[in-house]
Amino acid sequence: MAATIKSVAELAGVSIKTVSRVVNKEGTVKPDTLKRVEQAIAELKYTPNKAARDLASNATSVLGYVYDNPNAYYIIDMQKGILDVCRKNNFELLIHPCDASSENIAQELVDMVDSAQLAGLVLSPPLSEMPDVLHHLNEKNISYVRILSGDSEFSSTLPYVLVNDFKAAFHITEHLIAQGHKHIAFIAGEVIHKSTTERLNGYKAALKKASILFDESLIIEGTYSFETGVKSADVLLSMPSRPTAVFACNDEIAAGTLFGARMKGIDVPNDLAIAGFEDSPFSRQTFPPLTTASQPTNEIAQSATSSLIQYLRAKKTKSQFDNLTQTFIPQLVVRRSTKVSL
Amino acid sequence: MAATIKSVAELAGVSIKTVSRVVNKEGTVKPDTLKRVEQAIAELKYTPNKAARDLASNATSVLGYVYDNPNAYYIIDMQKGILDVCRKNNFELLIHPCDASSENIAQELVDMVDSAQLAGLVLSPPLSEMPDVLHHLNEKNISYVRILSGDSEFSSTLPYVLVNDFKAAFHITEHLIAQGHKHIAFIAGEVIHKSTTERLNGYKAALKKASILFDESLIIEGTYSFETGVKSADVLLSMPSRPTAVFACNDEIAAGTLFGARMKGIDVPNDLAIAGFEDSPFSRQTFPPLTTASQPTNEIAQSATSSLIQYLRAKKTKSQFDNLTQTFIPQLVVRRSTKVSL
DNA sequence: TTTAAAGATGACAGCGCTGTCATTAGGTGT
DNA sequence: ACACCTAATGACAGCGCTGTCATCTTTAAA
């Protein structure tokens, strides 16, 4: 049978409470006692029983990662990042894919947290940006950390991590302009994603800086999907004065646009430059490879998760929680889809 | 505070044990008692405390999904399938990405199961096919279900699910032959994946059936990666008598091959037909879209997970476990990369 | 009607830990 | 020497459930 706290205590010649103190790093144990206990733990290969722990301390150590995002790579990266931090802190991770457009998504999440007895939630867009969801969580006093698109910090009791899509989009558009483009189309993703409007604003800002008139007809609304790209290519390429460049809101759209351009025999980047966003693995594998903006998803996830855990600890001990918000700026990656000579 | 079994018992006017019986569907409760208890549960919105349950029953209800697979889509699909079944059965899922090529992967897994106190493991290739890993798990009496490539059932106390890559590869190759190809190259993935050899064997069998001589020089060894495809295209296309078709072991390789062919100005499918495997989302999005074989990953995951849960139940009650192995055959999906008129 | 067997329910210990509070040991100052 | 304080440790209840076994109730057979 597995070792218990009792067997460790006996071997070390101390009470179980002292073992508990060592395991929980309470720090009020004499150095030599500490050593004896640690040795006993090692010898018996003791691992604290999670269930007993949770039960006794009336607090679980399971976080939930809730997502609704079509990008498998993004999710996998997020998961890895969250997991890394969870492991280091003895937390577990529960995965919960869901449908953000569902009628009662807020209730679903609350119920889920309840029934799975979660300590807290990691929310990525678009869930992290839905007022209704946040409101319900707040009401039930559920802890969560948000990853969201934005460029300015704001005050909040709960932790959050920002991704500055505005600046990244600005840089991409500037790059396009630097290649000589003046007619630059913008293909948007779901408007429910704040990233869409942030990226659009970055695009607009760059145009303005270059004194290029913003042309409403060059904006196409769609979803973060390959299909949107294909359809948009169709629309854009049959315009009387067609754009010479396209800034797609993500790589999927960009890949679709590329596909659509191909269908029409349009050469990329000579006849049409295409830029994406997110640096998905396949953005390197299209022909030609896509210019894009790369965000350190893994790091973002880690940062968010450790903030959440710190918050939970502070909450438990009722101590002060310093909400040190990190901001990440996706970096421009130039590839052949926007530049001939590379 | 949240309702406990005690409060439910009081409200229903029964003992806590009876509530426990209802919650666990033991079936030895009178219909009207049952109704009273159920009503009390609903009224108090009672959810059993997982920690207490696990502690008292000395068994956790957390499964682990261990994977080392470069295909994000595959993993996401697997996860969803596993999760669906877990939810229905009140199990939780712990995700554990790992590196199969690591020296002490077996030990890592054993330790992980230990420290996270897992009930069982879901193993997908290549881990499900590594004798050393399985051996270690067996030694520690850890329960697991395997998803693996194979075409014949075999006896095993532990559950497993088969994916018949042989037949699927056979069909793909036959399709290529039907298009008039006689010079068909095969680009292999990691040999550690049994799927690689299964697919190669399917390829060989189809050639044989069509009386086409197997040509060793048309076989290229590589990894399941885009890069392998690019490099292979280079090699194949500079052969004196170059192949007219390529069967790539997965879509990534196929996409790479397509990319490589493009670089050389080779037209697909007219000058070179390319088939992949796995039906990854991007196989639809290359230009031209890839012919491939589609496996119902989600179903496979579900099947595997429910087998595992059944096994665990049987083990707990020491009853007979019927190892009903399911076999899945990936289906041929024909797209333009192998066929001009479509 | 009596009696045994089966069915339904309850009492209670105990799973392995943490929190609370009591106790003991080890200084410090007078 | 004493009281006095702090640091280190231990005793013990109890977290919310399940398993075991005892008890009570019903049903069917004699």
Give B271-326 pLDDT, tens digit per residue: 999 999 999 988 998 889 999 999 999 999 999 999 999 898 888 776 677 778 89
The residue of A95, A122, A252 whose CB has the most chain B CBs within 10 angstroms, and thus the best one to mutate to test that interface, is: A95
| Cβ–Cβ gap A255/B284 under 8 Å | no
- B286 vs A319: which has the higher pLDDT: B286
pTM for the model: 0.85
B154 vs chain A: nearest CA distance in angstroms? 32
**Chain B 182-201 contacts with nucleic strand D (CB below 7 A):** none
SS3 readout for A96-135: EECCCCCCCHHHHHHHHHHHHCCCEEEECCCHHHCHHHHH
Q: Is the CB of B85 under 7 A from strand D?
A: no
Nearest to B314 by CA among B158, B161, B166: B158
Give A35 CA → C3 C1' in Å.
Answer: 67
Distance CA A322, CA A177 (A): 41
Chain B residues in contact with A79 (beta carbon < 8 A): 95, 97
For B49-90, write each residue's pLDDT tens digit. 989 999 998 888 889 999 987 788 889 999 999 999 998 888
* Residues lining strand C, beta carbon within 7 angstroms: A 1-2, 4-6, 16-17, 20, 23-24, 46, 48-49, 52-53, 55-57; B 13-18, 21, 28-30, 33, 52, 55-56, 58
> Nearest Cβ partner of A73 from B52, B72, B259?
B72
Answer yes or no: is pLDDT of B42 > 80. yes
Protein-contacted bases of chain C (C-beta within 7 A): 7-12, 14-20
What's the residue count for chain A?
A: 342
Structure-token pair, residue A275: 């830029």
Two tokens, residue A130: 């839905």
Residue A126: asked if its preceding bond is cis (omega within 30°), the reply is yes
The shortest C-alpha distance from A169 to chain B (Å) reads 24
Count interface pairs A-B at CB distance under 8 A.
102
What confidence tens digit (pLDDT) does each residue in A69-125 have? 778 888 999 999 999 999 888 888 888 889 988 989 999 899 888 878 899 999 999
Protein CA B29 to sugar C1' C2 (Å): 28
Nearest to A83 among B73, B95, B286 (CB): B95
